[in-house]
Structure 1
């Protein structure tokens, strides 16, 4: 039982660390959260998490490796993902303008027909970085083996080698991994809306920043895809 609990805890930390860094998925979650509330932000997170679950299933049967062996397909994914990010960036900037108007009246726009789930899901499916994770570290989580978690730590890896070893490919590790992602998509939107009225004032800036992040990643993806095809 201790080893199962340890594997689950390590998996949860891994999932949390993977989900937390700034990027297009968190940009959409942040935009949805501040403009439409926690449920919309959570649904956007579920869209990204569902894509991870799908990639997990594809990696489990070896299908994701097709992308690694097909350079033109990788480039096409960069182009498609970049175009979608630019499209959603325009929408985020429009939302920012709308939020400024509503903030002046004491509130933020609430759109019951939130598209955050679909946006996050589609972007995640075409996100080469997410695919690359499941081609590398994701496969390592699935394949049975042993992972010495601290052995590769800078400077102190030799001293800590063997102190934290978990079994990869175990259900506990994988359950913990998705639990960590789940914790993020619950907690991140909650943290954004927990500040109450300050969210109303920050909503235009958050939506605008989301648009800028999406546009930045979109432009970078289009450049990588174009140069890959060339």
Structure 2
């Protein structure tokens, strides 16, 4: 039960639309499943790193300095806008789905870099993430973006078990395998999927990028 709850938690956090999934989508339809999986692996690798740094107390130290937050928002926002330009170029160049034969590691670098400058990701590991190994309870579905309030109380589990953390990362792993596979399958059937998904990814990255820059500016003021 605990392992399954951890997997649901990982899936619930990994699946909603956002900049990471936008990059995974773009890489998947333009370069194939390996590239999409590599992009997902970059985000997951950052989560593993944050978990280790949180246990060591490093992330908590960063979080205690308010001046760092605006820098993270600005850095993350500018990176998203930079990657959005690349996604726009991909949308223009991608006439149809291409299965491999290109650089499949660029997605890993993109998502890993974005994760390292994501204040929300850091905040998660400082608060909820590190608590996965501490005795207590966790309202698993309460952290689902946009739907958390409606789902609160649906699945509450005991924390403090390593199996919960194992399940959490297993849930993320399932997502970064299945999500690119579904996109690749669609891309093989519909030639127009590649430019459409790449353009959609650019829109998501621009939206989040401008949002991050605005939040950074508000925190400076």
| 60-69 vs 90-99, greater mean Cα deviation | 60-69
| Contiguous gaps of at least 5 residues in structure 2 | 143-147
Count of residue pairs brought into register by the alignment: 215
| Contiguous gaps of at least 5 residues in structure 1 | 1-5
Q: TM-score, normalised by structure 2?
A: 0.88
Deviation at 1:12, TM superposition (A): 0.4
Deviation at 1:156, TM superposition (A): 9.5
Provide the rounded CA distance (Å) in 1 between the counterparts of 2:177 and 2:212: 28
Is 1:113 aligned to residue 108 of structure 2? no
Q: TM-score, normalised by structure 1?
A: 0.85
Deviation at 1:169, TM superposition (A): 2.5
- Secondary structure of the residue aligned to 2:181 is helix
Provide the rounded CA distance (Å) in 1 between the counterparts of 2:151 and 2:181: 37
Query: After superposition, where does 1:147-226 map in structure 2 within 5 Å?
Result: 147=138, 166-195=157-186, 197-226=188-217
Query: After superposition, where does 1:1-230 map in structure 2 within 5 Å?
Result: 6-100=1-95, 103=96, 108=98, 112-114=102-104, 115-147=106-138, 166-195=157-186, 197-230=188-221
- Secondary structure of the residue aligned to 2:163 is helix
Q: Quickly say closer, same or farther: Cα 1:113–1:166, change in 2 above 3 A.
A: same
Deviation at 1:64, TM superposition (A): 1.3
Provide the rounded CA distance (Å) in 1 between the counterparts of 2:141 and 2:34: 37
Deviation at 1:221, TM superposition (A): 0.5
- Secondary structure of the residue aligned to 1:71 is coil
Q: Please, what is the CA RMSD of the aligned residues?
A: 2.4
Structure possessing the higher radius of gyration over alpha carbons: 1
